[in-house]
Each structure stands twice: as structure tokens, then as C-alpha cells.
Amino acid sequence: MSYLNELIKKTAATMPFAGKAAGKERALREELVNFGKMLHSQGFVAATDGNLSVRLDSGRVLVTPTGFSKGMMRQEDMVIVDLHGKKLSGFYNPSSEIAMHLTIYRMRPDVGAIVHAHPCTATGFASAGIALDEPLCSEVVITLGAVPLAPYATTGTMELSDSLRPFIPFHDAILMANHGVVAYGEDLRRAYMRMEAVEHYAKIVLATRQLGSARSLNSRELEKLVAVRTQYAKNGR
């Protein structure tokens, strides 16, 4: 009986979720599960692709585990790390791309969640070396602005973080050459919706290219949209 008690204590120590998780943490774990399923159902990830994370507090991040289908995760599978990547709790290892997430969190205190995925059309543009920065659609200008293309860097290395650094302060979504997309925002809902918006816009750009004609918004039209974008940001759209 004493061995069982010790085993239970050890399990609880390595996994705060088991009866200890605060309401906020429990809700964030559920969000990671739900938005992971949405990524998978939309075809934005396949097999064990992609990763998601949320900021728990000023010093801790809750992140999806490595090697898991985003459509098959459970709340208890999530991992907690500090801002240096040290695992604080969880049965599994954090995503192999945790360094990219932590770089964004350190550079953008306003960011509360990050989504990385490989949506087919947007990743096609990334693999073709084409940024999504043509002002073709008013709604995209308001919600995303431009989506730049970061140079290629090896997945899961600090080189990847370094390639993103010049773009992180000025953009909320970035194409990664020959890789995929990372989007981030105040919370997981906004980060996910930006990922959806990137893929939607990539489809629009592809359609205009197939049609053989694309009319970009002019400078005056863009100035008006930027003013609307600023107002939406103030209103917390």
C-alpha cells in the first residue's frame, strides 16, 4: 500500500493536471485539444505536424507534446516549460519547435498564444519563395496586414528562430520558406483565426494568379484600411 501511495504522489508531482490544475490551466488545456482538432479537421496539419502553445503566466508556457497527431491529443498530454525551454511538468517532451514559440513570447509580451501548421496553399507559397504581401483583399489587410516570408532554416533549431526575428515585432503571421506558417495573437482563438486567414488569403492570391489578373489596392485605399485596422485593434476586434 505504501508503494502505491508513493507512486500516486510521484504521478501527481509530474502531472499537475491530475487533480491539481487550476481552472485557468484546465481551460487552456481544453483549448489546445480543441484547436488541435480544428487544425487537423481543416487539413492544416497531417500525421504529427504542427504545434500549439499558450502562455500560462509570465514565466510558464503550456505546449503540445512532440510526436502527437493534433487531432488525437488529450488535455493531460500537454507539457509545461519555462521561458528557457526547461520542462517543468508533463509525461512527454514538448514540441521540437518550442524554441520558435519561446522566441516569439520573449519578443512579443502582448502575445498569449501561438499556432504553427502547414496549410497546403500557404505552404505552397512558402515553398515557392513567395510572400503573401500583395494588398489584394481589404479584409486581409485589416485582419493580417502583410504576411512576409522568412528565409529557410532547419526545423527545430535556433536557426529557425533567428530567421523569424526580423519579422516578429511587425507581423502577426509569417510564412517560413519550404516549411509552413506560424501565427500568433492575444489568445489561442485569435492565433488560430489568423492561421485560417493566412490560408484563405493564399487561396485568393492563387485564384487571381490563375485568372491572370490581380488588381492591388492603391495607396489611398490602403491608408483608409490601415486606419480601420487601427480602430479595430483599439476595439479588440
For residue 232, the model assigns a pLDDT of 64
Intra-chain end-to-end CA distance of the chain, in Å: 55
The pLDDT tens digits for 153-207 are 998 889 999 999 999 999 999 999 999 999 999 999 999 999 999 999 999 999 9
In this structure, of 34-43, 95-104, 122-131, 138-147, the range with the lowest mean pLDDT score is: 138-147
Q: Which of 97, 134, 196, 199 is catalytic?
A: 97
The partner residues of 80 in beta bridges, in order of sequence, read 62, 89
Q: How confident is the model at residue 226 (pLDDT cuts 50, 70, 90)?
A: confident
pLDDT at position 202 = 96
Residue 228: what pLDDT?
74
Q: For residues 149 and 46, give the distance between their C-alpha atoms in angstroms, rounded to a whole number.
A: 22
d(CA 140, CA 199): 11
Question: 97 an active-site residue?
Answer: yes
> What mean pLDDT do residues 25-36 have?
97
Check residue 234 and give its pLDDT. Answer: 62
What is the chain's mean pLDDT, rounded? 88
Q: Write out pLDDT tens, residues 71-117.
A: 999 999 999 999 999 999 999 999 999 999 999 999 999 999 999 99
- The CATH class that applies to domain 2-234 reads alpha beta
Q: pLDDT at position 233, please? A: 64
Res. 11: pLDDT tops 80: no
Confidence of residue 8 (pLDDT cuts 50, 70, 90): very low
- Whether 49 and 84 have beta carbons less than 8 Å apart is answered as no
| Element (DSSP H or E) covering residue 81 | strand 79-82
**What is the grid cell recorded at 209?**
494568379
Residue 81, strand partner residues:
61, 87
